[in-house]
Amino acid sequence: MGTETASVEISEPLLHDSDKIRPLQSVDDDDQVPEWQDQITLRAMVVSALLGTLFCIITHKLNLTVGIIPSMNVGAGLLGFFFVKSWTGLLSKLGFPVAPFTRQENTVIQTCVVACYGLAFSGGFGSYLIAMDERTYNLIGADYPGNRAEDVKNPSLWWMTGFMFVVSFLGLFSLVPLRKVMVMDYKLTYPSGTATAMLINSFHTNTGVELAGKQVRALGKYLSISLIWSCFKWFFSGVGDSCGFDNFPSFGLTLFKNTFYFDFSPTYVGCGLICSHIVNCSVLFGAILSWGFLWPLISQYAGDWYPADLGSNDFKGLYGYKVFIAIALILGDGLYNLVKIITITLKEICNKSSKQSNLPVVNEVLDGDSSEVTLEQKKREEVFLKDRIPTWVAGAGYVGLVAISTATMPIIFPPLKWYLVLGSYVLAPALAFCNSYGTGLTDWNLATTYGKIGLFILASLVGRDGGVIAGLAACGVMMSIVSTAADLMQDFKTGYLTMSSAKSMFISQLVGTAMGCVIAPLTFWLFWTAFDIGSPDGPYKAPNAVIFREMAILGIEGFSELPKHCLAMCCGFFVAALVINLLRDVTPKKISQFIPIPMAMAVPFYIGAYFAIDMFVGTVILFIWERLNRKGAEDYAGAVASGLICGDGIWTIPSAILSIFKVNPPICMYFGPSLSS
């Protein structure tokens, strides 16, 4: 998965500027490429299901707390390698014959896991689906114009699972016939897919196996530390939302009230290690700008700009400024990048008419024997084209799924009429192509932006009588199709570079998606049952639920009900997002690398500054590590970060079970001002 937004999925810098795309290592497994059936093994499916469950839980936790989701490809790759190597090693010691673990099987696991946990993101469990629920409706306010009680659909395991199966497979069939064009003819880089292939290929060399073993040990060490620490923290978290290390006033009580504190979260520190320095600094800058200056300034006008007696989560008060200004930044950033990607896409497609293409290509020839590289490339192309997926299968699959979805969606969401669903599916392949092409060029997956466009259009078309539900459901349709189509092309690129069959990649995506359609709703239901999801004062705020519902209402009602001066401020921040992005593109790199990213800035505007502190701690650790030992940081930072995130994620399972059985932490560690004598 590439870089995405709000929920903000931020891709790790897999390809460092100093680390240009190298020639793919020649592997030490023999040169025989297994048949596609042999690449998809039972052990690969079992490992994929286990890792898919773990990463779905992690994705849900991040989605329901802050909405920032870093790429976890390194963690998935390392853990997949570790589990199968451990499996084969144990069976060998017991005397059982075992098939060798090939890079093709490793690629199948990676594809399945990413497809599975990708649905925890694109499935809308932290955004458009939960935006339909009663809690989000009540949070916005029953008397808020356009927020109708009829536009409520509470989560249910059955309809959510059905919805996943209905919409999640369409994107896989929409672009399958173009795999050769995108990967071989246009030679799109798909940076995350290429980096994943390099990672997998490196595991299957002698030196790579040794490094992978060290990385796995580092991941296991920090996973254990994170798990033990999360368990230790639980004992002091008491009942309610104000106890424990998660509410530790690290910088004093005054700053604590403005959400500036370090909350000792391994997950957010791990995110800081994975995300680039500019992302982490942008998040902190947004936190300082909003919670350090803007909100204290606006709060001084309580009683003038808005009624002073409103609750802290009333949209007619300060909370309205927080949410709508964040929306303005998100939309400004998303619109700019959408136009930019489409412009680049059209320009490069036009350039294909001439022999000299400006598309970035994988530089496969460095100093080695060029004839050997050419032979390797020919072999990759031969393997990639060998097991064809017939065009009629893709066409029939897409048409059949469209028919099922067109009939089913109005049953799940009555305001979304069948002809609106059908119209969406007619346009979807073109949008999926634009998104997949743009992802191949830039690594930016703009699925959420396309989803928001669908949300606005459908909400305004349907109007007040069901427009909110229709818009949110249409957002899900668009997001699912364009996101899975881009992920599939990423996987085809990975498969091409690891000499994996295109057919095994496609089937792995189908299996991983089917797993995700079951695992993502089930793991979400664990959170929904155990925790107070959507409470603005709790840890699981589900911040994007409010954002998406407000966008749907805006599509229907317009801007008439915004607080005083809020519209002018929103316009200012929208323009600022456009200008900042433009500056990032037109200024020299030595300057642009210090210009913040508006999308990342927007996240703390309505959530708080605490996670920005944690992520900044992570980026400071990485910065110092890079200065002391750059090679060590490049080799192990991803493993350490994945361990911190996975350990905290694993603790979520026993924590949820304890919560379901009403077992409360025994101690409430609380901080308050000292009493005067």
Q: How many whole angstroms separate alpha carbon 469 and alpha carbon 578?
A: 30
What is the model's pLDDT at position 8? 47
Give the pLDDT confidence score for residue 288 in this predicted structure.
94
266-274 and 42-65 helices cross at what angle (nearest 10)?
100
Stretches where the chain sits below pLDDT 70 are 1-31, 70, 186, 240-241, 313, 352-373, 441-444, 560-561, 675-677
Nearest-10 crossing angle of helices 318-351, 543-557: 80
DSSP string, 288-312: IIIIIIIHHHHHTTBTTTB-TT--T
Which residues is 306 bridged to in the sheet? 302
Residue 434 lies in a domain: yes
pLDDT number for residue 444 = 67
Handedness of CA 263, 264, 268, 271 (dihedral sign): positive
Rg of the chain (C-alpha set): 24
**Cβ–Cβ < 8 Å for 488, 171:** yes
Instruction: Judge contact between 614 and 272, C-beta under 8 A.
Output: yes
pLDDT at 6: 42
Q: Give residue 75's pLDDT.
A: 76
Q: Would you say residue 486 lies in a domain?
A: yes
Quickly count: other Cβ atoms within 10 Å of residue 597's Cβ: 24
Q: How many domains does the chain have?
A: 1
- Give dist(CA 285, CA 137) in Å, integer: 31
CA distance 131 to 143: 17
d(CA 20, CA 22): 6
- The reply to whether 546 falls in a domain is yes
d(CA 444, CA 337): 9
Q: Is residue 5 part of a domain?
A: no
Q: With respect to residue 500, please indicate whether it lies within any of the assigned structural domains.
A: yes
- Boundaries of domain holding 319: 42-349+414-661
CB burial of residue 241 (10 Å; 0-12, 13-18, 19+): middle
d(CA 98, CA 160): 39
Residue 358: inside a domain, yes or no? no
Q: Tell me, what's the pLDDT at 28?
A: 46
Residue 400 lies in a domain: no
Q: Is the peptide bond before 674 cis (omega within 30 degrees of 0)?
A: no
| Beta-bridge mates of residue 444 | 3
Beta carbons of 81 and 199 less than 8 angstroms apart: no
**pLDDT, tens digit, 9 for 90 and up, residues 123-139:** 989 889 999 999 999 88
Question: Under a CB-based contact definition with an 8 Å cutoff, are residues 133 and 153 in contact?
Answer: yes
- H/E run at residue 254: helix 253-257
